[in-house]
Chain A
Amino acid sequence: MSSGTLYDKVWNFHQVKELPGGSTQLFVGLHLIHEVTSPQAFSALNEKNLEVKFPELTVATVDHIVPTVNQQRPFSDPLAEEMLATLEKNCKTHGIKFHGIGSNSQGVVHVMAPELGLTQPGMTVACGDSHTSTHGAFGAIAFGIGTSQVRDVLASQSLAMKKLKVRRIWVDGSLQKGVYAKDLILHIIRLLGVKGGVGFAYEFAGPAIEKLSMEGRMTICNMAIEGGARCGYINPDETTFKYLKGKEYSPKGQEWDNAIKWWKSLVSDSEAKFDDEIQLDGSSIEPTVTWGITPGQGISIKEKVPNPEELPKNEQQIAKDACKYMNLEADQPIEGTSIDVCFIGSCTNGRLSDLQEASKIVAGRKVSAGIRAFVVPGSQKVAKEAKRKGIDKIFLTAGFEWREPGCSMCLAMNPDKLEGRQISASSSNRNFKGRQGSANGRTLLMSPAMVAAAAINGKLTDVRKLLQEENYK
């Protein structure tokens, strides 16, 4: 059993009581809601005649269904409009703060909450969305919940939960140029598998992690769930504090000084006990892409599509499925795979630095003929800041489309979809069959810079080649 880790300490602070079933009633410090998983929870609440217990601890936004071209109300899709209207009504009835379209603070829930300073170290953060693990980047315990738990949190600001084991993933060295947080997490999921983390919280630590910006850290924790770990976290440090300082909801004045003291006290002790520990070398990681239909089916851009027969027994079937579905041959080099669509965005990689890094690849170049490429900023704040820096112009000049913020083609609940057998290079987090809106559409996951490189060349490209050319310009 772990002890002395940040996870243990934060857990203890939020423990309400032990429940008969052997789980713990855990208090939720920040509850985030969006239009997809909340309406049924509110109706369940109404059915049971319950109130929202702490409306000030729930914060809402709209992200999954928003169109990214024309956000004029009512939305042209009546179902999308109904979902948004339902959320607006529920927030109003229950006194919940709603960051809607036109609020300047709307965005993908895992992008907007951190940038407002809502997510802070030492909190428990819950949201009816599996990528809630993102918020762990601040040293919070953050996890996705189902709709009935959303109902529970609304009603009691708490939920029944089993304590997870803690695995520390220690990453030495530092990432090479052209290698990003996304490559690191794809690499980790490849190593440990899509269910390697089931039953665990992942603590990401070590020099390579410490060197990451908050945005890079969010990318890592965001995808912990793709490795099966319901939460992933990183101990807060100066990088965390610097990011939070001055944010809208960050503590101010004397409170700020006290907050820092408390936050520092939560960091995993040097003699903390972990249930499992893993160590890897960040310097040896290469740009990584997925070739298959699970986020664990990743390889470096220099590798070939694996031969299913040569994989461990338990991976063979899904690898065969994947080759067939993706229409890729075993032993074919992944670099050079032609693509149709390029998508930069999502809660994994739709933040300012993601767009910035990708824009460096795009600047002065053109999107390859026949490729549909678009950028969807993760939030209105990201969009505004990117425009201020002229990043939108760089993309537009190169032939990208520049859209309004939302989840967009990460899961294609809005009009942005793949068509037919199209294959996308995508900075999102899931490559499941049909994920991007076409039942037989195909997805290759990679860093935003790699997506940009693919857009320029019309095929998968080692982004480092374009970065090198950069040096000679």
Chain B
Amino acid sequence: MTQTFPKGEIKAISGRSLVIKGNDIDTDRIIPARFLKCVSFSALGEQVFADDRKELNGNHPFDLDQNKGSNILVVNDNFGCGSSREHAPQALMRWGIRLIIGESFAEIFFGNCLALGIPCMTSSKQEITKLQNLVNGNPNQIWDFNLEELSISNQKESFVLDLEGGAFKMLYSGKWDATSQLLDAEEKINNTVKNLPYLNNFK
């Protein structure tokens, strides 16, 4: 099975949602460290939340039949805290997640998701709880996310979401792949080097 990963402008995402409840879900839980021994990311999708899934014996949201093929994840507070490893967003992306909505995200996790073209949108605790309940009430419904309107809706109910301006612009313009932008500044990089005492024998 070949997957397609985010590319170019990220303006709209549609699909079914699933919910992971709990605050402070750290990257070691999203992808336990023993799965990090890999030189490519390809197998990570199957291992996402491995320990939690084992504990719940088939009843974890990522195992339930009804959630197969869902691409929107709704979480709570401080999601993705812990390590800076990009394996966590990679694992989620390779499982199929394309959008995450939560109360808040750990900073490095947020940045790592952005660099993969996965928006991490926020909303208040109250709204998230409501959204989670709706999703769990009917996992089959299709949700439409619209970046420009900062909203997600199921036709009947709509939720306002938040995203800080920088990330918004990057996703909207398709310039979330940073490398090419950085390389544009070659001359300026060389100037910075010239002005750093420690790269110039402290002259």
Contacts and interface: CB of A to CB of B under 8 A. Distances in A.
B119 interface: no
B107 A160 contact: no
A82 B38 CA distance: 8
Interface stretch (A36-44, A271-279, A386-394): A36-44
B96 to A, nearest CB: 19
A67 to B, nearest CB: 12
Interface string A412-452: 11000000000000000010111101010000000000000
Interface stretch (B12-20, B109-117, B148-156): B109-117
B189 A43 contact: no
Contact of A48 (B86, B179, B203): B179
A120 B115 CA distance: 29
A234 interface: no
Interface in B163-199: 165-167, 169-170, 173, 175, 178-179, 181-183, 185, 188-189, 192-193, 195-199
A155 B182 contact: yes
Contact of A21 (B54, B104, B167, B201): B167
Interface in B117-147: none
B32 interface: yes
Size bin of chain A's contact surface: 35 or more
Interface string A40-65: 10010000101001100000000011
A393 to B, nearest CB: 32
B85 interface: yes
Contacts of B115: 146, 148-149
Contacts of A157: 189
Contacts of A318: 23-24
Interface string A63-93: 0110000000000010110110010000000
Interface string A230-262: 100000000000000000000100010011001
Given A79-B37, A162-B166, A433 B199 contact: no
Interface stretch (A11-19, A216-224, A351-359, A370-378): A11-19
A105 interface: no
A64 B83 CA distance: 13
A458 interface: no
Among B22, B33, B81, chain A packs the most CB atoms within 10 A around the CB of: B33
Contact of B178 (A13, A15, A160): A160
A156 B36 contact: no
Nearest to A132: B84
Contacts of B28: 430, 432-435
11 contacts: A13-B196, A20-B173, A27-B196, A146-B108, A148-B115, A149-B115, A195-B106, A225-B84, A258-B202, A433-B28, A437-B33
Given A15-B192, A198-B78, 5 more contacts: A21-B166, A22-B165, A156-B185, A318-B23, A434-B29
- Pick the 4 closest A-B CB pairs, nearest first: A144-B84, A22-B166, A258-B202, A146-B86
Interface of A: 13-17, 19-23, 25, 27, 29, 36-37, 39-40, 43, 48, 50, 53-54, 64-65, 77, 79-80, 82-83, 86, 120, 122-123, 128-130, 132, 144-149, 151-152, 155-160, 162, 194-195, 198-199, 225, 228, 230, 251, 255, 258-259, 262, 294, 314, 317-318, 411-413, 430, 432-435, 437, 439
